[in-house]
Chain A
Amino acid sequence: MNGIAFVWQFLEVVLAIALAPLFTGWIAQCRAWMQNRSAPPLLQPYRMLRKLFHKEAVLAEHASPLLRAAPYALFGAMVLAAAIIPSFVTDLPFARAADAIALIGLFATARVCQALAAMDIGSAFGTMGARREMMIGFLAEPAILMVFFNAFLLFGTTALTGVVDNYASHPSVVDPSVIFAAIGFVMVLLAENARIPIDNPATHLELTMIHEAMVLEYSGRHLALIEWAASLKLFNYACIGIALFLPWGIAIHGAGLGHVLFALAALIVKLAVCGAALALIESLSAKLRLFRAPEFLAMAFLIAVLGLLVHLLMGANTSA
């Protein structure tokens, strides 16, 4: 472990925090283009955050400290997650502390904080949103685990950095199971980040909203932190996807400065493409009714299991 690694680690986290709203804005812009609307400015999420930070935070009278603490916990968890995910370098000191399974735990912690805070006031909407969020999470976690297992099986490690490292030494052809895992992953990503087939972040229609229902009680800097954490979560998921399925160009252990700069450029391009692809998926699909969500996530889970099966069964044939 050398000093430079800590520099990369620091840079990586700062980059994630700084770029996350931009990524959200980029998706919104792509969506607007695809739907023939005039797009909001790219930097709109930053303006939003600035506005919210300048506003006074109002809390309900009966609020417990949990309500106040939750936004910070949420944001902290997302930053920590960003530190573990290798977005452009794999030489990350923090990454050794936690593998991908721990990462899922981290996301789950954040989810629990948010759900508890939403129920704290006792308003109907908050409770409803929390219940829905927990249902989605309860179904999404097995699915994402299965997706991870695909990659673990393929690369023989449970750490995301390890996956990327091993990828460099692996032959350059995509294993069939990766297709299944990738599709499952995208489905989980959409569900976990309140994107369109499951939830629509732009609506406040009480019958359908999930994420928005939980944050109705927040205002000011708390709301800003929650929004920021949400965009960080999306950014993190995108980076996980990139690490698992498009790891070309990520600088591995002991790479030089030039390589890292190249990796950084590659990351920007990949994020741009991913954002556009996500916007495309969202534009093409219709919002599912809430009771369809379990079906959607069950399908994600089954597709990931199918990937495992295909890998194991076809692999068994190869060795025979």
Chain B
Amino acid sequence: MLKSYLVVELLKLLAAGMLLISFALLATRRTQRLIMLFAGQGAILFLSTCLVAHDAGLTELYFSAALTLLLKVVLLPLILHGLLHRLGAQWDNERLVHVPATMLAGLVLVVLAFGLAQPISMLATTIMRHTVGIALAVILLSFLMMITRRKAVSQVIGFLAMENGLFFAATSATYGMPMVIELGIALDLLVAVFILGIFFFQIREQFDSLDLHHLETLKEE
């Protein structure tokens, strides 16, 4: 009982860390730091999945955790770093305006997320049910990040952070998705990053920059 209580509290703490990183992603200007934050978020996801796996005694979840560790903490950040390096963009800074306004919008999203997650939290039987709201908040915040960013790499990191939130939601609400599906998702994710990597080069070749404000010509006049 006490042990389980401890696990719940620790999980809440990790969830809070996850949320905090989401906010940090919203406010960080340096692209390299974004990648580090993303890796940190992956690490928290890994830790919490391990904790849940341990507590619920589900070996399947350990695989999921290992997948997270491999993909989101090691592989994807490395790929992104390599990409930045080869693009010569590792010291890129991004102009962000209205960071406080963005964060305020983020706060509203957090409240909204908890509101939406309330019925799920009420019904769930997992020990992580309190964190479904946070998972949803992480998803929405990543969404916000993708909207506010103008750089290709940052948008991709937002996209990947959203995936982190989704995995966290799956672990929180239902002890993860079936293994085959998690593998499928991971594969899709990897392919997506691969394709985006190709894309970065093509975009830069055409526009001499990874800034997406060049990509605003296709509009209805």
Contacts and interface: CB of A to CB of B under 8 A. Distances in A.
Do A and B contact each other directly (Cβ–Cβ < 8 Å)?
yes
Interface of A: 171, 173-177, 179-180, 183, 294-295, 298-299, 302-303, 305-306, 309-310, 313-314, 316-318, 320
B172 to A, nearest CB: 11
Contacts of B131: 314
B142 to A, nearest CB: 16
B6 A318 contact: no
Contacts of A316: 114
B143 interface: no
Interface residues of B, number: 30
- Chain B residues touching A, majority SS: helix
A133 B16 CA distance: 33
Given A317-B121, A317-B133, A318-B130, A299 B110 contact: no
A314 B107 contact: no
B110 A176 contact: no
Contacts of B118: 317, 320
A251 to B, nearest CB: 26
B124 to A, nearest CB: 10
A188 B133 CA distance: 28
Contacts of B129: 317
Nearest to B124: A317
Given A173-B9, A299-B100, A309 B111 contact: yes
B9 A179 contact: no
With a 10 A CB-CB cut-off, give which of A177, A180, A295, A318 has the most chain B CB atoms.
A295
Given A309-B107, A309-B111, A313-B133, A320 B16 contact: no
Nearest to A301: B100
14 contacts: A175-B12, A176-B16, A180-B20, A294-B100, A298-B99, A299-B27, A299-B99, A302-B104, A306-B19, A309-B107, A313-B111, A313-B114, A314-B12, A314-B134
Given A171-B5, A313-B114, A314-B130, 19 more contacts: A173-B13, A175-B9, A179-B13, A180-B20, A298-B99, A302-B100, A303-B23, A305-B107, A309-B107, A309-B110, A309-B111, A310-B16, A313-B110, A314-B12, A314-B131, A314-B133, A316-B114, A317-B118, A317-B122
A174 B99 contact: no
Nearest to A298: B100
Contacts of A183: 20
A176 B13 contact: yes
B23 A306 contact: yes
A176 B15 contact: yes
B155 to A, nearest CB: 22
Nearest to B16: A176
